[in-house]
A and B are shown apart, each in its own frame.
Chain A
Amino acid sequence: MTENILEVRDLVKHYPIHRGVVFKKTIGHVKAVDGVSFELRQGETLGVVGESGCGKSTLARVLMNLEKPTGGSVHYKGQDISKLSGGGLRRLRRQIQLVMQDPYTSLNPRMTVGDLIGEPFEIHPEVAPKGSRRGKVKELLDLVGLNPEHINRYPHQFSGGQRQRIGIARALALRPEIIVCDEPVSALDVSIQAQVMNLLEKLQAEFGLAYVFIAHDLSVVRHLSDRVAVMYLGKIVEIGTEDEIYERPTHPYTQALLSAVPVPDPTVREHKAIIRLTGDVPSPANPPSGCRFRTRCWKAQEVCAREVPLLQIRSGSDHPSACHFAEKREIVATHEAA
């Protein structure tokens, strides 16, 4: 496709763990994001999937420059965003916006919808001069499928799906190039979820937006994404096009994750081979040596404990995978209509 607008290199975010009240001592680090690299191209959707605690939301926060990375860099059009401050940072924020998961807590209950969506214009008055703001807000409401007449209502007068639309309108206000969506539909009911997904697709086509789409629901990510990155304990274990990840996964974790997704079709339940993973995800404060997945992996050998597998293209595969023994395996992931 076209040029990269976001380049992430070896991004690391560690949170210190403190002990003691008066004499604070750092006794370790939660390695939330630990060496993540990818690029985002103009107008594409990069899906990021993984289970809770794998660092997807921390990644979103670092991409937004809400947190300073411990190491590595995020470049927006060649500019290192973590080095920006003041006016430079403000200009950058116009280009990267965030849609959050919980439409109930991410909107200030004391502000009207008009104020919520118009607030970005206060910070960036160059986008819309004062007189035109209400008109712009109404346009945005119309764009996301809400009634422009409701501009004076408060968030509690809207349903979950409508609130998420408000969040999307707010993110769109400054006409950004990139929207980071952190679990934008996971709090919504199935029928509403589909409406919001359609809206996101429509807006992308209309404005040429690039999305970083973070979610744990694999079928949602598949529907929207051009490329997909699978995360486990702070690292990307596999990255590729939607087709490569879903049809030809080579990392055992991706395979297990895909096989565990319940298929909404009772006729496949007998001949579905679920890969059973034992145990839980280890603590990111103390991840296993070598490959982080080895404690739950059925292929683990001695080399996995010794060497960290690099995210690279291996023989017999067409996309990068971070497994010493990467190989293809057939998985029934999402079903096709009869």
Chain B
Amino acid sequence: MSDILVSEQSAAGASGRPAGRLLEVDDLRVEFRTRDGVAKVINGVTYHVDAGETLAVLGESGSGKSVTAQTIMGILDTPPGFVTGGQARFHGKDMLTMSFEERRRIRGEGIAMIFQDALSALNPVFTVGFQIAEQFRIRRGMSRSDAKKRAIEMLDQVKIPNAKGRFSNYPHQFSGGMRQRAMIAMSLALDPEVLIADEPTTALDVTVQAQIMDLLAELQRERQMGMILITHDLGVVADVADRIAVMYAGRIVEEADVYDLYAKPAHPYTLGLLNSIPRLDEKGQELRTIKGLPPNLMNIPPGCPFNPRCPMAQPVCREKLPPLLQIGAGRASACHFAEELVNRD
């Protein structure tokens, strides 16, 4: 996968990138240097997002999905987090080597992010309206009253009832779902080309979750935004994603179109995840689990990091790290036995 990206790059330069390719993460590596040792959190992540598409980054806690997003946004806590390699290119330009000012211009207008916990992402001492309007005043140089008008429009767009009245409310006066809407309004205020949504509905109830996912899908369609949806929820992914990248121990282990991935997973980890969802026709039976625990990132096992938990593991898996290789149109897997997995009955 990454080989192909690189050859496209070197052959034609930045202008030769496929049209609409907005964001490319290329062999990104991040480590956390702590008192107890060095945790290798991201170990060569490569993915891209095009205009109008939704890439779901799926993984369990500690898989590095959020740290990748933080690195792209430039909000990685340093120390302890350090980028040790790779690139994150926006319109072909590496953001990791940009000046602070250049990078700041991309945030909000180029790439915006929404977080899981809206209450801690919003500033409690300013009104919700002020926090949205602030962006128009600083970045667009609007007057106070124009900015307020635009902010109310934004609140209205994310379907907050009585947007005008709600403008001067504080975050604590909003319910959980409304706060999430307010944060979406804030992140979309400057019309970003890419939206990174980090577990946007995990803290919400199912009925509210459905409302928020709908809203995001609608806004994305209208604006032809590229979206990176970071989640651990296989249900949400099946509903909205176009493509999926599955992460494990700081690496992408599988990348595929959403239909292919659910129909024929090409990595034993993906298969294990899909199998551990309770299914209707298996009630009363034991759930098929993935044995063991995710690896300690300070001490990742040699070879394939999934090998201690993998039911298919062979001697080669303990010795050689399988690279993420293309196995079909738009599909890649980092498993020595990906072909066998896809081709079985």
Name A's B-contacting residues (CB within 8 A). Answer: 51-52, 159-162, 189-195, 197-198, 201-202, 216, 218-220, 222-223, 242, 256-257, 260-267, 269, 274, 276-277, 279-281, 333-338
Q: Are B206 and A257 in contact (CB under 8 A)?
A: yes
Q: How far is the CB of A48 from chain B (nearest CB, A)?
A: 15
Residue among B207, B232, B263, B291 facing the most chain A CB atoms (10 A cut-off):
B207
Q: Let me know if B234 is at the binding interface, CB within 8 A.
A: yes
Interface presence of B288 (CB below 8 A) = yes
B278-305 vs A, CB cutoff 8 Å, 1 = contact: the mask equals: 1111110011111101100000000000
Candidate in A160, A194, A219, A337 with the most chain B CB atoms within 10 angstroms: A194
| Interface residue from A159, A193, A218 paired with B206 (Cβ < 8 Å) | A218
Asked, given contacts A194-B287, A198-B287, whether A263 binds B238 with beta carbons under 8 Å apart, the answer is: yes
Of B60, B211, B280, which one neighbours A335 at CB under 8 angstroms?
Answer: B280
Contact partners of B176 in chain A: CB under 8 A: 52, 280
List the A side residues contacting B339 at CB < 8 Å: none
CB of B154 to closest CB in A, whole Å: 20
B205 touches which one: A51, A194, A267, A333 (CB < 8 A)?
A51
Which applies to chain B's interface (DSSP): helix, strand, loop or mixed? Answer: helix
How far, in whole Å, are A223 and B278 apart by their CA atoms in the complex?
A: 6
Chain B min CB distance to A295 (Å): 13
- Contacting residues, chain A, for B210 (C-beta < 8 A): 260, 262, 274, 276-277
Question: Does A280 lie within 8 Å of B178, measured CB to CB?
Answer: yes
Determine if B232 and A190 form an interchain contact, defined as CB atoms under 8 angstroms apart: yes
Contact (Cβ within 8 A) B207 A51:
yes
- B278 partner, pick from A197, A216, A256, A277, beta carbons under 8 A: A197
Q: How far is the CA of A218 from the CA of B213 in the complex (A)?
A: 18
- Chain A residues near B70 (CB, 8 Å)? none
With A198-B287, A198-B289, A266-B262 already in contact, the answer to whether A261 and B235 are too (CB < 8 A) is yes
- Across the interface, do B207 and A277 meet the contact criterion of CB distance under 8 Å? yes
A255 to B294, CA, bound (A): 37
Residue of A nearest to B214 (CB): A276
At the interface, yes or no: B177 with Cβ under 8 Å from chain A? Answer: yes
**CB neighbours of B290 from chain A (8 A):** 191, 194
Which residues of the other chain, B, contact A195 by a CB distance below 8 angstroms?
289, 291
How far in angstroms is the closest Cβ of chain A from B87? 30
Can you name 19 extra interface pairs (CB under 8 A) apart from A220-B278, A338-B263?
A: A51-B208, A52-B176, A190-B60, A190-B277, A191-B272, A197-B287, A216-B205, A257-B206, A257-B207, A260-B209, A262-B238, A266-B238, A266-B239, A266-B262, A276-B210, A276-B211, A280-B175, A333-B280, A337-B282
| A336 engages B281 (CB within 8 Å) | yes
Contact, CB under 8 Å: B234 / A190: yes
A260-B206, A264-B234 known; A191-B283 Cβ under 8 A: no
Name A264's contact: one of B177, B235, B286, B287 (CB within 8 Å): B235
Residues 225-259 of chain B: 1 if any A CB is under 8 Å from the residue's CB, otherwise 0?
Answer: 00000001111111101000000000000000011
Residues in A whose Cβ lies below 8 Å from that of B233: 262
Verify if B61 is at the interface (C-beta below 8 Å from A).
Answer: yes
Q: Does B325 contact A (CB under 8 A)?
A: no
Residue B274 at the chain A interface, CB threshold 8 Å: yes
| B279 adjacent to A334 (CB under 8 Å) | yes
B276 an interface residue at 8 Å Cβ cutoff? yes
Report B-chain residues with C-beta under 8 Å of the C-beta of A197.
278, 287
Please indicate the chain A residues that have their CB under 8 angstroms from the CB of B237 in the complex. Answer: 264
Q: Is B83 an interface residue (CB 8 A)?
A: no
Q: Which residue of B lies closest to A274 (CB)?
A: B210
Distance in Å from the Cβ of B275 to the closest Cβ of chain A? 8
Nearest chain A CB to B44's CB is how many angstroms away? 22
A267, closest chain B residue (CB): B259
Cβ contacts A to B, 6 pairs, < 8 Å: A197-B278, A262-B210, A262-B233, A267-B259, A334-B278, A336-B280
